[in-house]
Copies of this chain bind each other. A is one copy, B any other.
């Protein structure tokens, strides 16, 4: 009961997916040893292919994980924020990072040294189980993304993205785009131009964008669109010049 007063950053780290199911007193020593870093927008946290030296937890800000293809094209694999962990590969000695990591906003991150992590794992098997859980759930996220890419159109992926930002499950909703459109495009596997046009295609379904704010007239309708079979794009739905509050 002595050191139950911990700073706010530690509090955030304790809530991360990796640590939240573990008893506090097992995690605290690990966190105390960890470095806390301020990284500014645009700076690289690690490179793809580098030996995995640390596990990271985001205390505040935004970080993208991306992949560079041999010809230099970038594909964003994840966009993470507060309480998310990344660099789980560091739990396996000798492993390398399969993606690069870069701050896309000024961020505050916690960096846990791989050696400390390994010794903590050795003393405390539950930690390994927690990491496994984190890895399994990242897995699911990747599979979700694969499904999106393989079976949905760009416009549907945007719809899904907006719905993910939405708190309610019915009625109307206004959401703020959490980062710039270029990054959203890359995350959804589109070019900025295509994203821009795809946003327009959502208008007939009651979505309008202005600046970084999206207004959804009916969440149900958008869900219906997002889940629709792309091949059933017969002209029934779009209804072009009609009925809508166009300016």
Contacts and interface: CB of A to CB of B under 8 A. Distances in A.
Interface of A is mostly: helix
Interface string A138-150: 1110111111011
Contact of A128 (B71, B132, B230): B132
B147 A75 contact: yes
A136 B88 contact: yes
A232 B95 CA distance: 34
A4 to B, nearest CB: 28
Contact of A77 (B77, B92, B146): B146
Number of copies: 2
B136 A91 contact: yes
Interface in A119-173: 121, 125, 128-129, 131-133, 135-136, 138-140, 142-147, 149-152
A20 to B, nearest CB: 14
A73 B149 contact: no
B143 A139 contact: no
A98 interface: yes
A69 interface: yes
Given A91-B129, A92-B133, 7 more contacts: A71-B151, A71-B229, A98-B140, A121-B125, A135-B136, A139-B142, A150-B189
